[in-house]
Structure 1
Amino acid sequence: MVSTLVVAKDQKKKLFNGKNLKGWETLEGGASFKVENGEIVGVSKAGRQSTFLATKKSYTNFILEYEYLLGEGLNSGVQIRSQVNEKGVVYGMQVEAEDSDRAWSAGIYDQSRRGWRYPLEYHPEAKSAVRKGQWNKVKVVAYENRIVSWLNGVNVANLLEEDTESGIIALQVHGCGKNKEGMENRWRNITIVELDQAPDFSGVKAPMVSYLKNELTAEEQQEGWELLWDGKTTNGWRGAKRDDFPEKGWKIEDGVLTVLSSGGAESAHGGDIVTTRPFKNFILELDFKFTEGANSGIKYFVDTELNKGKGSAIGCEFQILDDKQHPDAKKGVNGNRTVGSLYDLITADSRLFVNGLKPQKYVHPSQWNRARIEVRGNKVRHVLNGCTVVEYERNTQMWKALVAYSKYKKWPGFGEAEEGLILLQDHGDEVHFKNIKIKPLEIAL
Structure 2
Amino acid sequence: MKKLKIIVLAMGLVSMTQVLAQENWEMLFNGKDLSNFEQLNGKAQYKIENGELIGISRLNTPNSFMATKKKYGNFILEFDVWVENGLNSGVQFRSLSSSDYMGGRVHGYQCEIETSPRKWAGGIYDEARRGWLYPLTLNPKGQMAFINGQWNHYRIEAIGPNIRTWINGVQCANLVDDMTPEGFIAFQVHGIGDKDHEGKVVKWKNIRIMTTDLERNRNTVDPDVREISYLVNQLTENEKRKGWRLLWDGKTTDGWRGAKLDKFPTKGWELNDGILTVQAADGAESGNGGDIVTDDSFSDFELSLEFRITEGANSGIKYFVDPGLNKGDGSAIGLEFQILDDDKHPDAKKGKNGNRTVGSLYDLIRAENDDSSRGKNFNGVGKWNNARIIVHGGHVEHWLNNIKVVEFDRFSQMFEALVEKSKYEKWENFGRLPEGLILLQDHGNKVDFQSIKVREF
Q: Tell me the TM-score normalized by structure 2.
A: 0.92
Mapped to 2, the partners of 1:422 and 1:7 lie a distance apart of 53
Match of 1:282 in 2: 301
Alignment partner of 2:365 out of 343, 346, 370:
346
Mapped to 2, the partners of 1:172 and 1:62 lie a distance apart of 19
Mapped to 1, the partners of 2:393 and 2:180 lie a distance apart of 39
Match of 1:42 in 2: 55
Alignment partner of 2:442 out of 386, 402, 426:
426
**Offset from partner CA, 1:207-261 (integer Å, 9 cap, x none):** 2111222122222222111111111110000001111001111111121111111
Match of 2:74 in 1: 61
Does 2:69 correspond to 1:52? Answer: no
SS in 2 for 1:398: helix
Question: In the superposition, relative to structure 1, how do residues 241 and 76 fare at CA in structure 2: closer, same or farther (>3 Å)?
Answer: same
Does 2:335 correspond to 1:316? Answer: yes
Preserved contact between residue 143 and residue 195 of structure 1 (Cα < 8 Å): no
SS in 1 for 2:324: coil
Mapped to 2, the partners of 1:41 and 1:27 lie a distance apart of 16
**Offset from partner CA, 1:140-194 (integer Å, 9 cap, x none):** 1111111111101111111111445211101111111222111111111111111
**Offset from partner CA, 1:293-312 (integer Å, 9 cap, x none):** 21111000101011122111
Match of 1:155 in 2: 171
Match of 1:385 in 2: 401
- Code of the residue aligned with 2:305 in structure 1: it is L
- Code of the residue aligned with 1:309 in structure 2: it is G
Mapped to 1, the partners of 2:431 and 2:375 lie a distance apart of 28
Mapped to 2, the partners of 1:379 and 1:392 lie a distance apart of 6
Match of 2:413 in 1: 397
Mapped to 2, the partners of 1:84 and 1:204 lie a distance apart of 32
Shift of 1:199: 4.4
- For 1:161-310, what aligned pairs fall within 5 Å after superposition? 161-176=177-192, 177-195=194-212, 198-199=215-216, 201=218, 203-205=220-222, 206-310=225-329
Shift of 1:6: 7.9
SS in 2 for 1:212: coil
Match of 2:13 in 1: none
Preserved contact between residue 15 and residue 191 of structure 1 (Cα < 8 Å): yes
Question: In the superposition, relative to structure 1, how do residues 202 and 95 fare at CA in structure 2: closer, same or farther (>3 Å)?
Answer: closer
Shift of 1:85: 3.7
SS in 2 for 1:129: coil
Preserved contact between residue 251 and residue 259 of structure 1 (Cα < 8 Å): yes
Mapped to 2, the partners of 1:9 and 1:278 lie a distance apart of 54
- For 1:95-174, what aligned pairs fall within 5 Å after superposition? 95-174=111-190
Question: In the superposition, relative to structure 1, how do residues 123 and 188 fare at CA in structure 2: closer, same or farther (>3 Å)?
Answer: same
**Offset from partner CA, 1:79-106 (integer Å, 9 cap, x none):** 0000114212111100011101111111
Preserved contact between residue 101 and residue 353 of structure 1 (Cα < 8 Å): yes
SS in 2 for 1:189: strand
- Code of the residue aligned with 2:54 in structure 1: it is V
- Code of the residue aligned with 1:78 in structure 2: it is V
Mapped to 1, the partners of 2:177 and 2:18 lie a distance apart of 22
Q: Which runs of 5+ in 1 are unaligned?
A: none
SS in 2 for 1:305: helix
Bigger radius of gyration: 2
Mapped to 2, the partners of 1:221 and 1:348 lie a distance apart of 30
Preserved contact between residue 250 and residue 259 of structure 1 (Cα < 8 Å): yes
**Offset from partner CA, 1:271-315 (integer Å, 9 cap, x none):** 110001111111111111112221111000101011122111110
- Code of the residue aligned with 2:143 in structure 1: it is K
Q: Which has the higher helix share?
A: 2
Mapped to 1, the partners of 2:21 and 2:302 lie a distance apart of 44
Mapped to 1, the partners of 2:61 and 2:344 lie a distance apart of 24
Q: Which runs of 5+ in 2 are unaligned?
A: 1-16
Match of 2:9 in 1: none
Mapped to 2, the partners of 1:414 and 1:396 lie a distance apart of 12
CA RMSD of aligned residues (A): 1.7
Question: In the superposition, relative to structure 1, how do residues 281 and 193 fare at CA in structure 2: closer, same or farther (>3 Å)?
Answer: same
Preserved contact between residue 298 and residue 319 of structure 1 (Cα < 8 Å): yes
SS in 1 for 2:144: helix
Question: In the superposition, relative to structure 1, how do residues 202 and 50 fare at CA in structure 2: closer, same or farther (>3 Å)?
Answer: closer
Mapped to 2, the partners of 1:340 and 1:76 lie a distance apart of 29
Percent same amino acid at aligned positions?
54
Preserved contact between residue 144 and residue 164 of structure 1 (Cα < 8 Å): no
Does 2:455 correspond to 1:439? Answer: yes
Preserved contact between residue 61 and residue 196 of structure 1 (Cα < 8 Å): no
Mapped to 1, the partners of 2:303 and 2:129 lie a distance apart of 25
Alignment partner of 1:23 out of 36, 39, 47:
36
Does 2:377 correspond to 1:362? Answer: yes
Match of 2:4 in 1: none
Shift of 1:114: 0.7
